[in-house]
Amino acid sequence: MAIVIPVLMLMVVAICQVALALNCYLVVTGASRDGARRAAETNDAAEAKKAALSSAGNLPGGQADVEVLFAEGRDKGCPVKVTVTYRVPLLLPGLEHIIPRPSFKRSTTMSLERSQ
């Protein structure tokens, strides 16, 4: 039992960490889509950032970073790119000294539906 229990607990924590990371990945992906959709509808970077942060509000740990980029201008049909970056917290404290925290960066590009 002294050998099996620590190994079993380590496996359970590893499975929970992978599940947390997968959930964060899905939330970050959805947040980038929501931000790009809002940017395409309104042609407003502040509204897009607000929508992305609202969608990523349920993430554990710190807040996600959102970047809105109008690369080719703000005319109708031009692309807008929203990038959301998030660092996943680790479940075991002090583990950051051994392994780096995973980070997710997802981008979504959509065409603007209106000119500014």
pLDDT of the residue at 61: 82
The answer to whether position 92 is within a domain reads: yes
Per-residue confidence in pLDDT tens, the chain, 116 aa: 889 999 999 899 989 999 999 999 999 999 999 999 999 999 999 999 999 999 998 898 889 999 999 988 888 889 999 999 999 999 888 887 888 888 999 999 999 997 77
57: its two tokens: 């509000």
For residue 71 the two structure tokens come to 């690369």
CATH number for the domain including 89?
3.30.1300
pLDDT value, residue 40? 93
Position 47 scores a pLDDT of 94
Structure confidence at residue 95 (pLDDT): 80
CB 27 within 8 A of CB 59: yes
Is residue 37 one of the residues assigned to a domain? Answer: yes
Domain tally, the chain: 1
The reply to whether the predicted model has a pTM over 0.85 is yes
Q: Which domain holds residue 40?
A: 4-111
Looking at the DSSP bridge assignments, the partners of residue 108 are 82
The predicted structure's pLDDT at residue 116: 73
CB 60 within 8 A of CB 21: no
- 14 in a domain, yes or no? yes
Q: Which amino acid makes up residue 82? A: V
Structural domain contains residue 107: yes
Yes or no: say if 101 and 87 are a contact pair by the CB < 8 Å rule: yes
In a domain, 116, yes or no: no
